[in-house]
Amino acid sequence: MRRAIRILGLLLIIAMVAAACGDDDDGDGSADESTDETTETTDTSAEDEAPADDESDTDDGGDGDEVSGAAIVYALGSEPTSLDPHLVDDGGERAINDNVYETLLARTPDGELIPGLAAELPTQLDDTTWQVTLREGIQFHNGEPFNAESVVASIDRIRRLIEEGVTDNDGFFSTFTGAEAVDDTTVNITTAERDGVVPSRLYWLKMIPASAVDSDDLSDSVIGTGPYTFVEWVRGEKATLQANPDYWDGAPAVEQVEYRFVSEAGSRLAGLLAGDYDLIANLNPTDVPQAPKSAAIQGQEHPVLILDADEGITADPNVRLALNLAVDKEAIADSLFDGFAVVDKGQLLSPSILGHNPDLEPYPYDPDEAAKLLADAGVVGETITLVGESSGRWLLDAELVQAVAGFWEEAGLEVDLQLPEFGEYLDVLFADGNRADAIFVSSSNDLLDADRQLSSYYAPSGIGASNSNERLQELVDSARAELDPAAREALYQEAVELAYDEAYFVWLINNEDIYGLSERLQWEPRVDSKVLIKEMTVSG
């Protein structure tokens, strides 16, 4: 009982510190475990007391007559490093460019792949050739036609940037070997090997005008086919987009969106409360009651601890099991994340991802068994190194790692908790040798395909993996090369079950994407964490 009280006290202290400090990362971008992703929009403007008069109707969450020609302000936690969608992979760039550029395939808000600029889903001509039929009559914002030549240019450019080593997106598109225009509306895309991830890759590759194929940086020429056109980027301050009245899928309701770059979470919340902003992302769970409205969805973030299965104290599978049993994940979800999280079911895959294994259950919280396993392994009192990071890159990341350290100490270990700056942390995470015993990462899934996470953290060849299981590598490689979705799913499910049985990770939670909204903004977040302004309306 005393142990439980101490741990609960630790979590409450950490939660209070988190509430006071806030989170400084905007990210990209909550829930019953028996369902898939859920979305919830909450109006908190009238929870404490009724308004003094009848001038404002907020009982329905701010719904009213839709305002045409409205402008909104979205406060981003980070400024883009570039506005070239082929060069960088950062949240600030995507928040803006997802509304300017489009891709061959798109997704519904719940994650289903659907045609985008393509007229239909791609078909396979052979194991390494995919044919895409394009919509007709679409133009880029500069008047150039969107056609097969544009697709060839987009693929040629990303391949060139990969070869030159100047893009952050090589992991997304390294299998592409080229594209060939069959006619104006038909293009064949080839890969170096069988690649079942191609449809998801086509959801990620933004299409550029053919005239931009030789450009080294598109930051000053932001031209897409999307519902918004680029107006300006005032570095260090803001960026502005304007609705495209000629958008092929109908002009959007919001006329203009201004992105303000506000790194401090408290300032973003204050601006929302003052009416300066209409939308902020990564709202701290404890700040939800203060926001005029909030919206949350079970997203793709999975904070997890990678355990070194080959060397050190964590090479013993019973120690790895003990580290899982020692952590009260329900308490973390309820106390630290204020209920805006669910306990992970022993895998990094959300239910929306093909390959999610529904048969796996979370390791239970069993501190007595954890202590026994550590004692039987003869490691009680020994030191385990736990590495996180200190910049606040992910929601409550340092606080989460501190809570885990407390649980492990209660189980009988000495914890060497290290919280380096982000650059040094990345060096530890991606080190080739001398891996730390346990390394924190919050693993998202931009492609909504299992290969993204399993290739990075499960397969021994992955940049963040800490095991040498040849069977696991074989399963991940086979699944990537498998073109039949049902067969791919079975391979991935076997892979995540193998990693679960070996306790290669300490699985923690799947936290929600939480947004703060003004009373007038109507919007529901998406499972892929994209913030698409065309899906928003403003009410009077």
State the pLDDT at residue 126.
96
pLDDT tens-place string over residues 51-95? 333 333 333 444 568 888 899 999 998 899 999 999 988 888 999
Which position has the token pair 């979800």? Answer: 333
> Could you tell me which residues come within 8 angstroms of residue 174 by beta carbon, excluding any fewer than 6 positions away?
162
What domains lie within the chain, and their CATH numbers?
2-31+300-512 (3.10.105.10), 39-45+66-79+224-298+513-538 (3.40.190.10), 91-212 (3.90.76.10)
Comparison of pLDDT for 1 and 271, the residue scoring more: 271
Determine contact, residues 198/121, Cβ cutoff 8 Å: no
Least confident of 24-38, 63-77, 157-171, 460-474: 24-38
Least confident of 80-89, 366-375, 418-427, 470-479: 418-427
pLDDT tens-place string over residues 193-217? 999 999 999 999 999 999 999 999 9
Q: Mean pLDDT for the chain?
A: 89
Q: How far apart are CA 390 and CA 421, in angstroms?
A: 5
Average pLDDT over residues 330-338: 96
3-class secondary structure, 469: coil
Q: Tell which residue, 413, 393, 390, 437, has the closest CA to residue 327.
A: 413
153 burial type by CB count under 10 A (0-12 exposed, 13-18 middle, 19+ buried): buried
Q: What one-character-per-residue DSSP string does 279-347 give? A: EEES--GGGGGGSSEEEEEE-S-EEEEEE-SSSSGGGSHHHHHHHHHT--HHHIIIIISTT-EEE--SS
State the pLDDT at residue 55.
34
Residue 379 phi, psi dihedral angles, 5° rounding: -115, 5
Q: How far apart are CA 203 and CA 521, in angstroms?
A: 27
pLDDT tens-place string over residues 266-289? 999 999 999 999 999 989 999 999
Q: Tokens for 221?
A: 């020429």
Comparison of pLDDT for 230 and 12, the residue scoring more: 230
Please count the other Cβ atoms lying within 10 Å of the Cβ belonging to residue 260.
18
Determine contact, residues 529/316, Cβ cutoff 8 Å: no
274 burial type by CB count under 10 A (0-12 exposed, 13-18 middle, 19+ buried): exposed
First to last CA, the chain: 54
Q: Max alpha carbon distance in the chain (Å)? A: 73
CA distance to 15, 240, 294, 515, per residue, from 278 (Å):
26, 14, 11, 10
State the pLDDT at residue 11.
62
State the pLDDT at residue 372.
98
Determine contact, residues 499/270, Cβ cutoff 8 Å: no
484 burial type by CB count under 10 A (0-12 exposed, 13-18 middle, 19+ buried): exposed
pTM: 0.83
pLDDT tens-place string over residues 483-505? 999 999 999 999 999 999 999 99
Determine contact, residues 104/151, Cβ cutoff 8 Å: yes
Q: How far apart are CA 240 and CA 96, in angstroms?
A: 9
